[in-house]
Amino acid sequence: MKLTLAEPKYLKESISIISELVTEAKFKITKTGIELVAMDPANVAMVIFKLLASSFVEYEVESEVRLSLNLNNLKQVLRRAKPNDMITLEVEDNKLNVTLKSKTKRTFSLPIIEMDEREQKIPDLSFPMTITTNSDQLVEAIEDVDIIGESVSFIGERDKFIISAEGDMSKAHIEIPADETTTIVAKADKVKAKYSVEYLKKMMAAGKLVPIVAIQFNKDYPLKLEYKTVDRLMLSFILAPRVENE
Amino acid sequence: MKLTLAEPKYLKESISIISELVTEAKFKITKTGIELVAMDPANVAMVIFKLLASSFVEYEVESEVRLSLNLNNLKQVLRRAKPNDMITLEVEDNKLNVTLKSKTKRTFSLPIIEMDEREQKIPDLSFPMTITTNSDQLVEAIEDVDIIGESVSFIGERDKFIISAEGDMSKAHIEIPADETTTIVAKADKVKAKYSVEYLKKMMAAGKLVPIVAIQFNKDYPLKLEYKTVDRLMLSFILAPRVENE
Amino acid sequence: MKLTLAEPKYLKESISIISELVTEAKFKITKTGIELVAMDPANVAMVIFKLLASSFVEYEVESEVRLSLNLNNLKQVLRRAKPNDMITLEVEDNKLNVTLKSKTKRTFSLPIIEMDEREQKIPDLSFPMTITTNSDQLVEAIEDVDIIGESVSFIGERDKFIISAEGDMSKAHIEIPADETTTIVAKADKVKAKYSVEYLKKMMAAGKLVPIVAIQFNKDYPLKLEYKTVDRLMLSFILAPRVENE
């Protein structure tokens, strides 16, 4: 296996974001790309990552490879990559070799770890509503509610998306109307659900990589955030709901 | 009551500065503007804030309103305002609603708190000397003496303003001559007084908002710093002296 | 004694770097420049600093002056110098007066301390290899190995310079080839030695001041890093080896 990226950004930033949710994970490297599906230790969030073969300048994979790594270690190494470095990934002697090449050649060897865990299955979810908006707009809204409380309500209507939170005394209410930057595809008139702000803050960081996010949710049902760039990257997150006792 | 600001800066930065001195305060909203007069909990510093009605694009006040708020809460909300947001303040159901409007509409509701405290009276002070200088110059000088000690001497003469501090072993001595950026209006030949560096650091932050500061002081007597922009903002501070035992 | 610098940078940054290794030191001020030779408290590293008389706009020294100072105090004062300030150093009443002059005149007085310590002698070292490279390249390499372990191996060959580190499980290996930016002058085919990453991080900070560094080392023998700018500054470091038990 030998994989070379000309642009470190997608791998580097994705691993940095994922490592905030999961510290150890199993990568599956197939002819179509690098994949990772992992649950966070609290079993509240799932991350699904795929970096497509087409984003590599060199992509040699003879047979499917499974590779478990400590993501903090990997993140630290990838952080050392400068924007113009070529990154090569190779497996040798039960190590992953990450080579950063510019004028100098810098090689880091990371241990491949053992993970017994069975493969994570991506749940089959269906949603009554899909809101597609600017990633930055979601970032702003989550930062807004972060000053108020630990959980946030997502309320989808046919013509607007509302994000709101209530603290002991204070409240926040953000209205994003359907317009040229926000589209709402709805099979229901109104959908309302509640999620953890802390997890959302970690997930929405993917807005640095992909300018558009698709948001799907339903009452007492998981949320799905999907960040996608054609032929390159897919980074999506599934988050368990906060069930309201009311 | 409905007040709308087109430019968040003056309100946002003022509240941020004031909240370093006072955590809860009573605003008085009259036909001429929003006012706040408050003492810090240690009774060492007073802050006097006035944002004039003329800095608002919409200013509807039927009768005088008194409104006590936790300034940290208010600061957190105002921090969420971006430079192009319109800010609207309204009172509803014993809450202050702060609306930030750009493409989205974001509303924060803050509790109006109870404050028994009687109204603060602004003391009637008269000074033998007024030094008007660049706000940045005062910032630099206070940062200079901050490395030396906890208190600073302000020494005004007819042709120069001296800021000095003495630590256990070290000393600092800054001389600002009267010139095109610094004017000194003096009824005495020399005035010397001592104040707390820690408080001055919090106060001089108003230099971010207003480029000119008027400095007034007298021996064993309070200091007054006044930051003013015509038709908009007045932010001034009164600071008790450090009386020397010598 | 009266010394004036038109450009604070060399003195300011050098003292800041040296103060990370040594907190008190004796300066020797002669007709040729200001010198300092000091060991760190753990006796692992020596710093040799010389700021030549030719980098001053005014340099009056009648007889040799010895001056012991707390470098943290001096650093704090020099940090207050802005790029366009003129810095003047004078001795008066057992104090060092540092004057920063722009539109204002700011004078700091620092105590001259007592140091019994006998003069540090610079050891007479000879090396089988000298590698001259870009300071930034050394900075990058040390930051690379810093994520792996506490000690680093320097390996010099006739055509390349290798910096490598091994942690419990991970490894880093950086190859810098001899080329237009890196020259290797070797009396031996291969030289390998081991040093502390923590000390190297403090020393390599001199790359901010001087773009080229000369690196000299030998097996179980000290390392020498030399940063030099003609007619101005010489800042060099000697670092004891980490002797390997193998």
Question: Does A217 map to a domain?
Answer: yes
Residues B101 and B175 in one domain: no
**pLDDT score at B244:** 67
Amino acid code (one letter) for C134: N
Q: Which residues of B touch A139 (CB under 8 A)?
A: none
Q: Which residues of B touch A173 (CB under 8 A)?
A: 106-109
Residues C6 and C106 in one domain: yes
Residues C149 and C61 in one domain: no
* Long-range CB pairs of B98-104, under 8 A, 24+ apart, other chains included: B98/B74, B100/B8, B103/A137, B103/A179, B103/A181, B104/A137, B104/A140, B104/A141, B104/A174, B104/A175, B104/A176, B104/A177
Q: Which of A53, A81, A111 is the last residue of a domain?
A: A111
> What domain range includes position B209?
129-222
| Percent of residues, chain B, with pLDDT higher than 90 | 93
Give the pLDDT band of residue A245 (cuts 50, 70, 90).
low
Residues C61 and C139 in one domain: no
User: How much is the average pLDDT of B191-212?
Assistant: 98
Amino acid code (one letter) for C18: I
Which residues lie closer than 8 Å to C142 by C-beta, 6 or more apart?
C152, C163, C197, C200, C201, C204
pLDDT tens per residue across span C120-166: 899 999 999 999 999 999 999 999 999 999 999 999 999 999 999 99
Question: Does B241 map to a domain?
Answer: no
Q: Which helix (H) or strand (E) holds B218?
A: strand B212-218
Question: Does B116 map to a domain?
Answer: no
**pLDDT score at A168:** 85
**pLDDT score at C244:** 67
CA-CA distance, C185 to B104, in Å (whole number)? Answer: 65
CA-CA distance, C112 to C132, in Å (whole number)? Answer: 38
Interface test with A, best of C131, C136, C140 (most A CBs within 10 A): C140
Residues A78 and A169 in one domain: no
Question: Does A233 map to a domain?
Answer: no
Closest by CA to A242, choosing from A222, A226, A216, is A222
Would you call B174 and C76 a contact, using CB atoms and an 8 Å cutoff? no
User: How much is the average pLDDT of B62-79?
Assistant: 96
Q: Which of B79, B111, B143 is the last residue of a domain?
A: B111
User: How much is the average pLDDT of A154-181?
Assistant: 96
| Any B CB within 8 A of C105 CB | yes
**pLDDT score at A120:** 87
Q: What is the pLDDT along chain C (246 residues), one digit of tens a residue?
A: 999 999 999 999 999 999 999 999 999 999 999 999 999 999 999 999 999 999 999 999 999 999 999 999 999 999 999 999 999 999 999 999 999 999 899 999 999 999 877 788 999 999 999 999 999 999 999 999 999 999 999 999 999 999 999 998 899 999 999 999 999 999 999 999 999 999 999 999 999 999 999 999 999 999 999 999 999 999 999 999 998 664
The nearest CA of chain B is from the CA of A217 a distance in Å of 21
Question: Does B236 map to a domain?
Answer: no
Residues B97 and B20 in one domain: yes
User: How much is the average pLDDT of B85-113?
Assistant: 95
Encoding tokens for residue B126? 């008269």
Nearest to B147 among C77, C95, C107 (CB): C77
Q: Which helix (H) or strand (E) holds B156?
A: strand B151-157
Residues C137 and C84 in one domain: no
> What ipTM was assigned to the predicted interfaces of this complex?
0.91
Give the pLDDT band of residue A246 (cuts 50, 70, 90).
very low
Would you call C104 and B176 a contact, using CB atoms and an 8 Å cutoff? yes
**pLDDT score at C62:** 92
Say whether pLDDT at B175 is over 80: yes
Q: DSSP character for A102?
A: S
Q: Tell me how crowded residue A28 is: count the other CB atoms within 10 A of its CB.
A: 15
Residues B20 and B90 in one domain: yes
The nearest CA of chain A is from the CA of B110 a distance in Å of 5
The nearest CA of chain B is from the CA of C136 a distance in Å of 32
A residues 189..208 contacting C (CB < 8 A): none
**pLDDT score at B103:** 86
Q: How many domains does chain B have?
A: 2
Residues B85 and B174 in one domain: no
Spell out the SS3 assignment of chain C: CEEEECCCHHHHHHHHHHCCCCCEEEEEEECCEEEEEEECCCCCEEEEEEEEHHHCCEEECCCCEEEEEEHHHHHHHHHCCCCCCEEEEEEECCEEEEEEECCCEEEEEEECCCCCCCCCCCCCCCCCEEEEEEHHHHHHHHHHHHCCCCEEEEEEECCEEEEEEECCCCEEEEEEECCCCCEEEECCCEEEEEEEHHHHHHHHHHHHCCCEEEEEEECCEEEEEEEEECCCEEEEEEECCCCCCC
Question: Which CATH number belongs to the domain containing residue A10 in this structure?
Answer: 3.70.10.10
Burial (CB count within 10 angstroms: exposed 0-12, middle 13-18, buried 19+), residue A230: exposed
Say whether pLDDT at B246 is over 60: no
Question: Does B237 map to a domain?
Answer: no
| Any C CB within 8 A of B171 CB | yes
CA-CA distance, C122 to C48, in Å (whole number)? Answer: 8
Amino acid code (one letter) for B49: F
Report CA Rg, chain B.
19
Instruction: Name all chains with 3 or more CB-CB pairs below 8 Å to chain A.
Output: B, C
> Three-state DSSP class for A203?
helix
Nearest to C106 among B170, B172, B177 (CB): B172
Q: Which helix (H) or strand (E) holds A138?
A: helix A135-146
Residues A100 and A134 in one domain: no
pLDDT tens per residue across span A92-148: 999 999 999 998 999 999 999 998 777 889 999 999 999 999 999 999 999 999 999
Encoding tokens for residue A121? 């299955």
Residues A89 and A153 in one domain: no
| Any C CB within 8 A of B58 CB | no
Residues A65 and A31 in one domain: yes
Q: DSSP character for B21?
A: T
Beta strand C212-218 with C129-134: parallel, antiparallel or unpaired? antiparallel
> Three-state DSSP class for B137?
helix
CA distances from C44 to A30, B97, C193, C197, C239 (A): 51, 62, 15, 12, 6
| Any C CB within 8 A of A102 CB | no
Would you call A175 and B103 a contact, using CB atoms and an 8 Å cutoff? no
Helices A197-204 & A135-146, crossing angle to 10 degrees? 150
Question: Does A232 map to a domain?
Answer: no
| Percent of residues, chain C, with pLDDT higher than 70 | 98
Encoding tokens for residue A110? 């990371």
Helices B9-18 & B71-79, crossing angle to 10 degrees? 140
pLDDT tens per residue across span B118-148: 788 999 999 999 999 999 999 999 999 999 9
Say whether pLDDT at B210 is over 70: yes
Question: Does B26 map to a domain?
Answer: yes
pLDDT tens per residue across span C179-195: 999 999 999 999 999 99
Amino acid code (one letter) for A218: N
Q: Which of B111, B143, B172 is the last residue of a domain?
A: B111
Nearest to C106 among B169, B170, B174 (CB): B174
